[in-house]
Amino acid sequence: MAKLLVIDDEANILFTIEQTLTSKELSVITASTGREGIQRYRDEKPDAVLVDVRLPDMTGLDVFKQLHEIDAKVPVIIMTAYSRTDNAIEAMRSGAFEYLLKPVDLARLRSLVEQAVKVSAMNHRLVRIDSGEPDAEEELAAEYIVGHSEVMQNLYKSIGRVAPQDVTVVLQGETGTGKELVARAIHQYSARSSKPFLAVNCAAISESLLESELFGHERGAFTGADQRRIGKFEQISGGTIFLDEIGDMSMSTQAKSLRLLQQQQFERLGGNTTIQTDVRIIAATNKDLKAMVERNEFRQDLYYRLSGFTIFLPPLRDRLEDVPAIAKHFLKDLARKFGKPTLYWTEEALLAMQSYNWPGNVRELANAVQFAAVNTIGDAIYPSSLPPECLSDYRIENDRDFPEVLDYVQQLLDLGQNDIYRKVIQKVESILIDTALKHTSGNHQAAAERLGISRMTLRKKERESESDPDAPSA
């Protein structure tokens, strides 16, 4: 469960925020003074902080500065009753997550807190390259880049080479290949690792808002700009910004981004003051930027500035040998989440997953593992628990997987038996039903679900098997 610390000396505000935001996903803790809030932060280690500018013993800005001395990655939202104060603006320039005007818009607050908690998780959840060895106790909360194929070994080498170098990086790969995870790994192994990491999806923000989101704006810059806004490039100075889907960035935003890359300078929208910043940019795209340049859809100068170091992330279909390790990794996390630590993959299920080409890549595999974990009644995950589309290329070869059936058919033929089709089908059905019932400890409903038939059909097949005097033994 995520945790929010609210620091305000007005009891009614504390009560309202606590009642409004507390949920099964978020707990809210409160403090009425700055010193109490700082101590509660040390004791509770919340995921995000909401602090008022005016407190009895110190200012909210002093609280913010002390919190960032403890942990520069914690998102802090500033509240102020004064719309034109420079204090909140200064806090934003120093790295505050956002500021809100009182009276607080609770819907806006809820959205901001959700964003802050996600950013906090991104900044504090470690990224590790899976060595195949058991997790150390202190790394249980880490996320892992998994895979030991040759293409993944080359990827790890690229991360290791570029992370310490303070250069721009472009990650090129299909959707779902893990570009954000690789970007976080590069940041984590860089000299900027103690500073914030922020991801911005250029495709998820409208063209009119993206420029303001990145560069900020002055009051009156456009309709609705009733106060100055600090952009992400200014806010995250010293840290790393991950620009996902940079191929969707407009030409005007590309032009300003080029200057930022060249000189680490820019102006806010509607302003003429040059802002100096210090950010590392990691960009990602699933598009062919070079082809976009040829079609005049992407600036050539920005393309060359960005592509100083490009890392290509392989699609999952090019490293199917990694699928079992990735599936086991995801299942371990999900089994802990669902309280089913004994869940395991059968060889048949792993083979089925390696037979699929995974158009959605690792993201699709993660969803398939979750589907299988939920869809499994016992401890063993069989191909039948996987999403149907994952079985589209999976074929069972009789001569390899059912030698006993072949031997049995041949035996009946050699003995001159008739009605062989019925006898073989009934024997296979009998084995299926007996095995499923043993696996589910005699639970007919569970066995029927695993077999993909109704409970009534299971009972009928069971009676037919018991009443057939000609049922041969294998």
- DSSP sequence for 149-170: SHHHHHHHHHHHHHTTS---EE
Choosing from 352, 367, 391, the residue where a domain stops is 391
Render pLDDT for 208-263 as a digit per residue (tens, 0 to 9): 789 999 999 988 888 878 788 889 999 898 999 999 999 999 998 999 999 998 89
Does residue 450 share a domain with residue 426? yes
- DSSP sequence for 232-291: HHHHTTTSEEEEETGGG--HHHHHHHHHHHHHSEEE-BT--PEEE---EEEEEESS-HHH
Choosing from 375, 391, 407, the residue where a domain stops is 391
- Work out how many domains the chain is built from and give that number: 4
pTM: 0.75
Output the domain CATH number for residue 384: 1.10.8.60
Choosing from 363, 391, 419, the residue where a domain stops is 391
DSSP secondary structure code for residue 105 in this structure: -
Does residue 387 share a domain with residue 247? no
Does residue 322 share a domain with residue 298? no
Tokens of 202: 């250029």
Tokens of 101: 């005007």
Determine phi and psi for 38, rounding to 5 degrees: -65, -40
Strand partners, 145: 129
Output the domain CATH number for residue 94: 3.40.50.2300
- Domain contains 156: no
Peptide bond into 403 cis (omega under 30): no
Does residue 175 share a domain with residue 265? yes
Does residue 174 share a domain with residue 116? no
Tokens of 204: 């998820």
- Domain contains 256: yes
- Domain contains 293: yes
Does residue 31 share a domain with residue 77? yes
- Domain contains 145: no
Does residue 170 share a domain with residue 66? no
- Domain contains 154: no
Q: What is the pLDDT along the chain (474 residues), one digit of tens a residue?
A: 899 999 999 999 999 999 999 999 999 999 999 999 999 999 999 999 999 999 999 999 999 999 999 998 999 999 988 755 567 677 787 888 988 888 888 999 999 999 999 999 888 888 888 766 545 444 545 688 999 999 999 999 999 999 999 999 999 999 999 999 999 999 999 999 999 999 999 999 888 789 999 999 988 888 878 788 889 999 898 999 999 999 999 998 999 999 998 899 999 999 888 999 999 999 999 999 999 999 999 999 999 998 879 999 999 999 999 999 999 999 988 887 777 778 889 888 999 999 999 999 999 999 999 999 988 877 889 888 899 899 877 765 434 456 677 778 888 888 888 888 888 888 888 888 888 888 888 888 888 888 878 888 888 888 877 766 554 444
Say how many CA atoms lie within 13 Å of 402 toward its Cβ: 13
- Domain contains 152: no
CB count in 10 Å sphere of residue 143: 19
Tokens of 12: 């009614």
Determine phi and psi for 239, rounding to 5 degrees: -105, -155
Spatial neighbors of 336 by CB under 8 A, at least 6 apart, are none
Does residue 362 share a domain with residue 406? no
Does residue 279 share a domain with residue 197? yes
Give me the domain span that covers residue 382: 316-391
Output the domain CATH number for residue 403: 1.10.10.60
| H or E element at residue 425 | helix 420-439
Q: For the chain, first and last CA: distance in Å?
A: 54
Does residue 7 share a domain with residue 95? yes
Render pLDDT for 342-380 as a digit per residue (tens, 0 to 9): 888 988 899 999 999 999 999 999 999 999 998 887 788
Does residue 363 share a domain with residue 296? no
Does residue 251 share a domain with residue 202? yes
